[in-house]
Amino acid sequence: MFKNPAELAERVLAGHPVTPDEALELLHTDDPGMLDLVAAAGRLRREHFGMTVKVNYLVNLKSGLCAEDCGYCSQRLNAGTDILKYSWLSPEQAVEQAEYGIKGGASRVCLVASGRGPSNREVGNVTRTVEALKEQHPDVEVCACLGLLKDGQAETLSGAGVDAYNHNLNTAESNYESICSTHTYQDRVDTVERAKDAGLSPCSGLIVGMKETDEQLIEAVFALRDLGSDSVPVNFLMPFEGTPLAGTWQLSPQKCLKILAVVRFVCPDKEIRMAGGREMHLRSLQPLALHVVNSLFLGDYLTSEGQAAQADLDMIADAGFTVLGARPDAERASDAVPASAAHGAGAEQGRAERTTTPCGSACGSAPGSGGATVSGGVGSSADGSTTAADSGAAPRGENASAEASVKGAAPTADGLTSRGSRDADGTVPERGAAASSVPTAAKVSPALAALLSSGDGPERDEDETRVRLELSPTVRRRGAGTSVAPNA
Ligand code: SF4
């Protein structure tokens, strides 16, 4: 065992990995010791990633309509969650959506689709999208998140220029049957292996807070290490109403931070991403989490709304980090977008657009927590319906995403929620039924205000305190009717 986290970090830096027992001890760090744990994990983070933050952006190619029964997912069959459902964006629509994130500083675009797995025809849709995207943005990494892969599909994706494949293990093998009956843990492992064999960079992570024990959490983290995942999205369960895990609240901000630190200790040189549910569960500790993780999804998640992209960029800069691969100011200026996201606090940051985010789950869940939606985009439709994906996202409404999200938190007088706080005994209190979860009331920055007034950026919301990406007309139409378009 170790005397303190700093000593353990030294040992890891010297090439000696932590054991499951040590990881469990780290997870059980008491709250007064939390900053020491973060500082030690931060040493590992800086050793491998410096002070950079990789920004990812989700594009939900297909939303909802899934016949699988993943218990955390708002896109599962018969889920009562009111999400936007649509089938396959065209390559042009997908590229249009992706560009919102790219202009906001994203160096990786994640193409997500709901469902058990793609048909070969659907893989063809994705390859055409990737080719169109790479033609216009050759330096952008593309990660596909399409569910379980069949023979040859990973090779087809790799041949089309896909760089990475996301398929989350989500939870421990010993907990898997409690969250899904329509596919197995081994099915997921097999898909990650297929992706690796085809030369795709494996991206696989977790959804925490799904009634797993601490021991099962450690089991899952070590499984990801052994699987050789290059990037590890960590999603925090958003317990959507209408799903079997509705009402499951077992996380606190401190616990989330400790989980991220443990993942860093176990996988010190891997890209670790705070993904779906970070706003809801990490809350004001997100900047502290940047000292542990080195990646995030910009803006919204697959089926739920994250914090405004500008707020993410501001948070990165305010905490002293820089966006990986941020373009020079001169280039950004040519986009008529104010300043760079890589500059210090107070500077006008790069374009703030809203994105969508991670799936994190299985299929196309947002990384991070599966799911999928039109990001940046999808989100709200003319009728207020939303889009979604694995990660359990919540619907976004025209009025406020707050109404959309996972219900269960009790709103306070100012409209924010109290979700996440603990009672004096450390337990997470029961939430009431009607509230929103994701804090979305970020003020519009001067940079974003300029973008809005240019008529070339995201739409301003009615109360002018939030913005959302403008959806393509097709997406709006699909969203408005929540009809299912035939696969292209
Ligand atoms: S996680 Fe993926 S496979 Fe599971 S229900 Fe959601 S969309 Fe379907």
Binding-site residues, please? 66, 70, 73, 110, 143, 203, 273
Query: Residue 45 Cα, ligand 1 centroid: separation in angstroms?
Result: 31
| Residue 364 CA, closest ligand 1 atom number | 2
Q: Residue 198's pLDDT is what?
A: 98
Ligand 1 atom 7: the closest Cα is on which residue?
Answer: 114
| Residue 67 CA, closest ligand 1 atom number | 8
Ligand 1 lined by 62 (C-beta under 6 Å): no
Helix (H, G, I), strand (E, B) or coil at 54: strand
Binding-site residues for [2Fe-2S] cluster, please? 110, 143, 203, 273
Q: Dump pLDDT digits (tens) for 163-192.
A: 999 999 999 999 999 999 999 999 999 999
Ligand 1 lined by 29 (C-beta under 6 Å): no
Q: Which residues contact 453 (CB under 8 A, 6 or more apart)?
A: none
Helix (H, G, I), strand (E, B) or coil at 280: helix
Q: How far, in Å, are 35, 127, 183, 273, 287 from residue 209 at the CA level?
A: 22, 34, 20, 16, 21
Query: Residue 243 Cα, ligand 1 centroid: separation in angstroms?
Result: 12
349's tokens: 């940051």
Domain residue ranges in the chain = 52-414+431-488
Ligand 1 lined by 114 (C-beta under 6 Å): yes
Ligand 1 lined by 183 (C-beta under 6 Å): no
Q: Residue 103's pLDDT is what?
A: 87
Residue pLDDT tens, the chain, 488 long? 788 999 999 999 999 999 999 999 999 999 999 999 999 999 999 999 999 999 999 999 988 778 889 999 888 777 766 666 778 899 999 999 999 899 888 999 999 998 999 999 999 999 999 999 999 999 999 999 999 999 999 999 999 999 999 999 999 999 999 999 999 999 999 999 999 999 999 999 999 999 999 999 999 999 999 999 999 999 999 998 888 999 999 999 999 999 999 999 999 999 999 999 999 999 999 999 999 999 999 875 545 555 678 889 999 999 999 999 876 544 544 443 333 332 222 222 222 222 222 333 333 333 333 333 333 333 322 222 233 333 333 322 222 232 233 433 332 222 223 333 333 333 333 332 222 332 222 223 333 333 334 443 333 333 322 223 232 222 222 222 222 122 11
Binding-site residues for [4Fe-4S] cluster, please? 66, 70, 73
Ligand 1 lined by 70 (C-beta under 6 Å): yes
Mutate-to-test residue for ligand 1 from 65, 114, 166, 167, highest number of ligand atoms within 8 A of CB: 114
H helices present in 243-327, as ranges = 253-266, 278-281, 286-289, 309-318
Beta strands in 18-122 (DSSP E): 52-62, 108-113
Which fold does the domain 52-414+431-488 belong to in CATH? TIM Barrel (3.20.20)
Query: Residue 418 Cα, ligand 1 centroid: separation in angstroms?
Result: 29
Mutate-to-test residue for ligand 1 from 62, 69, 72, 75, highest number of ligand atoms within 8 A of CB: 75
Query: Residue 106 Cα, ligand 1 centroid: separation in angstroms?
Result: 25
Ligand 1 lined by 52 (C-beta under 6 Å): no
Q: Which residues contact 468 (CB under 8 A, 6 or more apart)?
A: 305, 354, 379, 380, 396, 458, 459, 461
Ligand 1 lined by 68 (C-beta under 6 Å): yes
Q: Residue 421's pLDDT is what?
A: 37
Ligand 1 lined by 147 (C-beta under 6 Å): yes
Query: What are the phi and psi torsion angles at 26 (to 5°)?
Result: -60, -40
Q: What is the pTM of this model?
A: 0.73
Query: Residue 77 Cα, ligand 1 centroid: separation in angstroms?
Result: 9
Query: Residue 442 Cα, ligand 1 centroid: separation in angstroms?
Result: 30
Q: Residue 272's pLDDT is what?
A: 98
CA 123 to CA 144: how far, in whole Å? 10
138's tokens: 């050759």
Which amino acid does the sequence have at 37? L
Q: Residue 67's pLDDT is what?
A: 86
Work out the angle at residue 401's Cα, subtended by the Cα atoms of residues 400 and 402, and round it to the nearest 5 degrees.
Answer: 90
| Residue 77 CA, closest ligand 1 atom number | 5
Q: Dump pLDDT digits (tens) for 414-456.
A: 222 333 333 333 333 333 222 233 222 222 333 333 333 444 3
Q: Which residues contact 221 (CB under 8 A, 6 or more apart)?
A: 23, 206, 262, 263, 266, 267
Query: Residue 117 Cα, ligand 1 centroid: separation in angstroms?
Result: 9
Query: Residue 452 Cα, ligand 1 centroid: separation in angstroms?
Result: 35
Q: Residue 7's pLDDT is what?
A: 97
Mutate-to-test residue for ligand 1 from 58, 188, 243, 390, highest number of ligand atoms within 8 A of CB: 390
